Amino acid sequence: MALKSKKRRAAPVEAAPVADINTTPLIDVMLVLLIMMIITIPVQLHSVNLNMPTGNPPAQLEKPEVLRIDIDPASQVLWNGTVVSGREDLEQRMAEQVARPVQPEVHLRPDRKARYEVVAGVLASAQRLGLNKIGVVGSEQFVP
């Protein structure tokens, strides 16, 4: 006897709604914006163009006058080896040098143990009065 099997049909499964956001359009828009930004940004060069002087510089006929300002460990200011009495005296001497047609080169040599306020005050006075050719020398003493 042949059994007739009844094929049972499964009930249709309802598709559950998708709760995730579709990011494909978002990615497409971001790629388009990235490409537009790359196209519109100007090309950056990795060099700086400078107009440099050509030829040899003129020979210096005379050596510049050098003015030494030393600051000793006791924070006393020395003008070419002589002690300066105070800030007013220092500024008066600087003003005389500024008034000259050719300013001398000023070599400031502070001692390692000199107070910072004194060194900064000398530099500030030089800048305020218009002393242009100034350099700090002897900085090798500050390297450990």
pLDDT (tens digit, 9 = 90+) per residue, 29-52? 999 999 998 888 877 766 767 787
**Partners of 70 in beta bridges:** 78, 109
Q: Answer yes or no: are the C-beta atoms of 87 and 125 closer than 8 Å.
A: yes
Mean pLDDT over 67-86 rounds to 92
Residue whose pair of structure tokens reads 């218009």 in the numeric block: 130
pLDDT score of 7 = 63
Is the pLDDT at 77 greater than 80, yes or no? yes
Q: What is the pTM of this model?
A: 0.56
Q: Closest by alpha carbon to 134, among 142, 126, 125, 144?
A: 126
* pLDDT averaged over every residue in the chain: 84
Alpha helical stretches, state H, 41-115:
87-99
Domain boundaries along the sequence of the chain? 66-142
Tens-digit pLDDT profile for residues 96-133:
999 998 889 999 999 989 999 999 999 999 999 988 88
pLDDT score of 55 = 86
